[in-house]
Amino acid sequence: MCRPIGCLLVCCFIASQVIGCGSADPVGGADRPNVLPVSGQVTFDGKPLDGANVTFIPTGTEPGAFGVTDAEGKFSLQTFVEGDGAAAGSYTVTIIKNSKPSVDESVVPAIDAPPASVDQKSLVPEHYGDPSRSGLGADVTADGKNSFDFALEK
């Protein structure tokens, strides 16, 4: 079972791998695969899901891609630079939406205190954040419209 903090760590790892891929040139490079615009919308119980992390995890050798939903639940994917899209291929999709950690600003930790634990709660069923159990997928194609809508339910 993927705990909210565990899912967050998985997403951070995937994002770090995606951002670290390709050439040193931030705009393009000969060793980068072509990417295509990819967008969509995420709803939860019929309502747009704001602030959810959408991750496209490749089933092949293409790089992964990710995006964050806006107030209307809409997202655009990024592989190398903001909004560039995803490479053609098949992907397992995960969607994570966690509560914001609460911070008690009246408590000032000592300089040498250990970091406080972050207690976040998943706001969607946790299986959507687990690649082996999300049940979500997408095929990005060179000749397709590459718009993917995901309707999550409790």
CA dihedral sign, ordered 19, 80, 29, 38 = positive
Please choose, from the candidates 34, 151, 48, the residue with its C-alpha nearest in 3D space to the C-alpha of residue 88.
34
The Cα-based distances of 111 to 106, 108, 125 in angstroms read 15, 9, 37
Phi, psi of 13 (to 5 degrees): -65, -45
Mean of the pLDDT values across residues 125-148? 97
**Hey, what CATH topology would domain 1-20+38-100+119-141 get?**
Immunoglobulin-like (2.60.40)
**Span 55-77, pLDDT tens digits:** 999 999 999 999 999 999 999 99
23: pLDDT confidence band, cut at 50, 70 and 90?
very low
What is the model's pLDDT at position 22? 43
